Amino acid sequence: MEVKKPDTVNEPDLEYGNYSYADYLKWQMEEVVELIKGKIFKKAAAAPKRIHQKVSGEIFLRLGNFLKGQKCQVYFAPFDVRFPKASKADHKIHDVVQPDICVVCDPAKLDERGSIGAPDLIVEILSPGNSKTELKHKFELYEFNGVQEYWIIHAETQDLLIYRLTHGKYAPSLLLTSGDVAESHVLKGFKLDLEEFFGDIE
């Protein structure tokens, strides 16, 4: 039986699972939302904790300084990343997320609304309200769409897990903690000494 799309614009139905980017653009919601497989996922209603903001800002600054003069560009949320399948038309796109930080190295993927296509690197910073989304739904979405490198930072426990795409599947690093140096394979030469990095955050 066909499920009829709710006709509300301001308050879409969270249980309905076939929204598109065209719908997303019409919503007038206070909360930040993302679409995964056409289903709405609300980000935390409250502002992120201070440590989340500190980690996000510091990573963004370091990536920005590293990428100066290079074709790759770094962006931070809110920044729409759309994953098209057969068509790039707004009504045909059912996956739209706002990663904490992403790096896009192909200028053809960038437009005035964000990125259409997989970034080369995505960084998500976990908080108690979003861990399930980041670890399951976004993991599958990023893997399927070819995000080459996916960093998951747990700000409160000061650790980092890096997933790298190998033959279409993510292979995880060991859990990196204080004393380890994280290194990107996508952005050659970018390194993060976790002891020094988190020492600056506190």
Task: Give the helix/strand (H/E) hosting 50.
Answer: helix 50-66
What is the pTM for the complete model shown? 0.89
- Cβ atoms 77, 55 nearer than 8 A: no
Which residues does residue 166 pair with via DSSP β-bridges, in sequence order? 169
pLDDT, tens digit (0-9, with 9 covering 90-100), for 90-147: 999 999 999 999 999 999 999 999 999 999 999 999 876 666 777 789 999 999 999 9
pLDDT at 17: 73
Ranges of H-type helices in 117-183: 131-132, 139-145
pLDDT, tens digit (0-9, with 9 covering 90-100), for 58-98: 999 999 999 999 999 999 999 999 999 989 999 999 999 99
- Cβ atoms 34, 41 nearer than 8 A: yes
Domain residue limits, the chain: 50-201
More confident residue, 172 or 21: 21
80-82 β-sheet, strand order: 39-42, 33-36, 96-97, 80-82, 114-116, 110-111
Q: What percent of the chain shows pLDDT beyond 70?
A: 87
CATH 3.90.480.20 is right for the domain spanning 50-201: no
Residue 108 burial (CB count, 10 A): 8
